[in-house]
């Protein structure tokens, strides 16, 4: 059997931060984005409005800013090593995030089989955000289903890693979940709970529940 590992980005692969925060730091807009993140976490705004307001805030954004944000972000250690081991087992790994696609897709460089984010226009922006491409928590499950079809697995073969309310629907849809530095309500629903900064340790918690395959 083959497993599909589904990783959230903000607060999960990235410790204590999020892609919008790191991008805005490059533009000197940390305070504005922190306030926007608070509105989102308190559910005063939803993903479409959040995305549109980020787009407006980032009018001066360039590819160099995005790369600097990615390279300087507080990533968990061991991401590349975990994804390499997943590949060597014959399994699959993917990132599903509400953060902008132009940032999320950079994780393909580290060995993810797939990386899906909210679809923003190319940087620098010359077009508005199409809200139909902005992911929602329920949309994460839809992306996971498409990935299952692509890789020839089912939801029953999936492991989800996440930290917050945006991962709740995906945790409910798959049999194995890992709460990584997560909010208490999400940790209470998870198969495994991890606190720390090493993805190798979080991934190691899943070993007893992973299907065995020919690549093991």
Q: What pTM value is reported for the model?
A: 0.94
Q: Tell me the per-residue pLDDT of 62-90, one tens digit each, with 9 for 90 and over.
A: 999 999 999 999 999 999 999 999 999 99
Choose between 89 and 209: higher pLDDT: 89
Per-residue 3-state assignment (H helix, E strand, C coil) for the chain: CCCEEEECCECCCECCCCHHHHHHHHCCCHHHHHHHHHHHHCCCCCHHHHHHHHHHHCCCCCHHHHHHHHHHCCECECHHHHHHHHHHHCCEEEEEEEEEHHHHHHHHHHCCCEEEEECCCCCCCCCCCCHHHCCCHHHHHHHHHHHHHHHCCCHHHEEEEECCHHHHHHHHHCCEEEEECCCHHHHCCCCEEECCCEHHHHHHCCHHHCCCCCCC
Q: Do 50 and 36 form a contact (C-beta atoms < 8 A)?
A: yes
Q: Tell me the per-residue pLDDT of 134-161, one tens digit each, with 9 for 90 and over.
A: 999 999 999 999 999 999 999 999 999 9
Q: Tell me the per-residue pLDDT of 100-111, one tens digit each, with 9 for 90 and over.
A: 999 999 999 999
Tokens of 35: 């306030």
């Amino acid at each position: 059997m083959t497993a599909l590992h589904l990783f959230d980005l903000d607060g999960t692969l990235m410790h204590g931060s999020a892609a919008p925060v790191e991008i805005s730091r490059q533009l000197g807009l940390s305070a504005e984005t922190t306030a926007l993140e608070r509105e989102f976490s308190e559910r005063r705004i939803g993903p479409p409005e959040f995305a549109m307001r980020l787009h407006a805030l980032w009018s001066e954004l360039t590819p160099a800013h995005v790369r600097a944000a990615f390279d300087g972000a507080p990533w968990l250690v061991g991401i590349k090593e975990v994804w390499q081991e997943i590949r060597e087992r014959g399994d699959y790994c993917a990132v599903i995030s509400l953060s902008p696609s132009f940032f999320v897709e950079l994780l393909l460089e580290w060995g993810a089989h797939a990386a899906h984010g909210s679809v923003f226009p190319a940087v620098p922006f010359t077009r508005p955000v199409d809200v139909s491409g902005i992911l929602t928590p329920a949309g994460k499950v839809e992306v996971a289903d498409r990935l299952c079809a692509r890789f020839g697995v089912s939801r029953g073969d999936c492991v989800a890693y996440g930290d917050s309310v945006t991962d709740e629907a995906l945790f409910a849809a798959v049999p194995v979940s890992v709460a990584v530095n997560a909010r208490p309500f999400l940790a209470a629903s998870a198969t495994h709970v991890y606190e720390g900064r090493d993805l190798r340790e979080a991934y190691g918690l899943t070993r007893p529940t992973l299907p065995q395959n020919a690549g093991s």
